[in-house]
């Protein structure tokens, strides 16, 4: 892992955290070499890994020194530049980033978000009630897969008949074991939203896709591909991160019955519980940047062009930032986690992500008296997405 060889896990291998405990590993890294060099593997370039909370936050807050335009995920960056760079918000740098983000914020108006959040509450409550009647079931398949996708599809006004295909492509884009299958899924999503953008541009409504498709950046309309890429970003970020956060939250509640009881009894604030659920889940192991200038991170010299990976999973469990970080504490305060990123690239869908978890916790406490794990959870094979693809459980109805 490092130049000194004190750490040796391969952070580029999707199987690494299937076999190793990430919390133990990053605790060692924070203690010995919180900003360290990861040697290249399999012909790929090396990169810097940042593990401590203070430096992760500082890096997120320094877009002048650390750019996102080449890509923000190690798997992509280590193969070369992200083809969506400069066109999709997440991989666009200033000054274009500022105008593109403003357009997307206009699309995600308070009225639109409030309407979608209300639908999330109703849909989640119905799914949880139905699941509680099943006895044993897979929470990931029966509940977690459906809420975030439908939330984002509601946001984008995607026809209900198209949603099963979008779920399949969304899952394949980030969790497909075969890189070719992942690429095909991404292409299918982009092509779908190009077609939808063309329809909405011709006959605009008051939905998010219409607003993006008819808006301008730097005085020019976005191309259909740019509209599609930003819709793709919303659905991937909103679907995958919310899904794995929901699964991790139910797993944690089952494993921490005292916290579950405190939630049911109303002894913890719902908003605080949502924040702890997000910190505990930390749906993205990392985000990455590319140094645009020579500068220093944590006393270490970084050269222009170096790849720098920021490990959210480690920052959110840093003992210098969180008291007893491996304790699941729904009343935790303060709780300034980086589960949804930080700084200028802070997650655009944070409002809906929180709304979905809030709806889930409210639905669980209203319809379920006990949560029990009924089998081994299946971890997602990824060095980016942190979570489980299967969670066998039993809900005891109220």
- Portion of the chain with pLDDT greater than 90, in percent: 77
**Band of the pLDDT at 149, cuts 50, 70, 90?**
confident
pLDDT at 5: 40
Same domain, 109 and 192: yes
Mean of the per-residue pLDDT values for the chain? 92
Same domain, 212 and 353: yes
How far apart CA 360 and CA 125 sit, in angstroms, is 7
Same domain, 291 and 156: no
Same domain, 306 and 350: no
Same domain, 52 and 69: yes
Asked which of 336, 351, 373 is the last residue of a domain, the reply is 336
Same domain, 67 and 205: no
pLDDT at 35: 98
Tokens of 394: 């039993």
How far apart CA 353 and CA 151 sit, in angstroms, is 9
* pLDDT tens digit sequence for 214-271: 999 999 999 999 999 999 888 877 778 899 999 999 999 999 999 999 999 999 999 9
Same domain, 107 and 87: no
Same domain, 46 and 10: yes
Point out the least confidently predicted range of 61-75, 150-164, 380-394: 150-164
Structural domains of the chain, count: 2
Q: Tokens 């439908």 map to which residue? A: 150
Same domain, 74 and 110: no
Q: What does the pLDDT average to over 25-52?
A: 95
Q: Helix (H) and strand (E) counts for the chain? A: 16, 14
Same domain, 113 and 31: no
CATH number at 183 reads: 1.10.630.10
CATH number at 73 reads: 3.30.43.20
Q: Name residues whose C-beta falls within 8 Å of residue 366's C-beta, 6 or more positions apart in sequence.
A: 125, 128, 398
* pLDDT tens digit sequence for 161-206: 998 888 788 777 765 544 546 778 888 989 999 999 999 999 998 8
Per the structure, the complete domain to which residue 72 belongs is given by 1-92+285-336
Same domain, 78 and 186: no
Same domain, 154 and 254: yes
């Amino acid at each position: 892992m490092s130049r000194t060889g004190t750490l040796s896990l391969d952070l580029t291998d999707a199987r690494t955290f299937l076999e190793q405990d990430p919390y133990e590993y990053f605790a060692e890294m924070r203690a010995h070499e919180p900003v360290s060099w990861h040697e290249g593997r399999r012909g790929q370039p090396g990169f810097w890994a940042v593990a401590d909370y203070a430096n992760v936050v500082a890096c997120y807050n320094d877009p002048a020194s650390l750019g996102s335009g080449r890509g923000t995920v190690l798997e992509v960056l280590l193969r070369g530049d992200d083809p969506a760079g400069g066109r999709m918000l997440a991989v666009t740098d200033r000054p274009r980033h500022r105008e593109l983000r403003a357009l997307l914020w206009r699309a995600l108006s308070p009225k639109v978000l409030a309407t979608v959040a209300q639908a999330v509450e109703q849909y989640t409550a119905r799914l949880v009630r139905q699941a509680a009647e099943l006895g044993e079931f897979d929470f990931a398949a029966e509940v977690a897969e459906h809420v975030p996708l439908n939330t984002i599809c509601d946001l984008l006004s995607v026809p209900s008949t198209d949603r099963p295909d979008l779920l399949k492509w969304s899952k394949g884009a980030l969790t497909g074991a075969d890189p070719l299958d992942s690429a095909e899924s991404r292409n299918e999503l982009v092509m779908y939203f190009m077609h939808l953008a063309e329809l909405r541009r011709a006959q605009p409504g008051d939905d998010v896709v219409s607003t993006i498709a008819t808006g301008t950046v730097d005085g020019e309309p976005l191309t259909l591909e740019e509209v599609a890429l930003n819709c793709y970003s919303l659905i991937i970020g909103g679907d995958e991160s919310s899904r794995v956060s929901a699964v991790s939250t139910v797993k944690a509640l089952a494993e921490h019955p005292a916290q579950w009881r405190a939630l049911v009894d109303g002894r913890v604030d719902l908003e605080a519980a949502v924040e702890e659920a997000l910190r505990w889940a930390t749906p993205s192991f990392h985000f990455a940047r590319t140094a645009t200038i020579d500068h220093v991170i944590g006393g270490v010299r970084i050269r222009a062009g170096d790849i720098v990976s920021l490990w959210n999973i480690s920052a959110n469990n840093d003992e210098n930032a969180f008291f007893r970080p491996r304790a699941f504490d729904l009343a935790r305060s303060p709780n300034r986690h980086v589960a949804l990123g930080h700084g200028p690239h802070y997650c655009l869908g944070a409002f809906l992500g929180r709304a979905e978890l809030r709806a889930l916790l409210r639905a669980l406490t209203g319809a379920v008296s006990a949560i029990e794990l009924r089998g081994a959870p299946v971890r997602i094979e990824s060095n980016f997405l942190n979570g489980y693809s299967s969670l066998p459980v039993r809900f005891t109805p109220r």
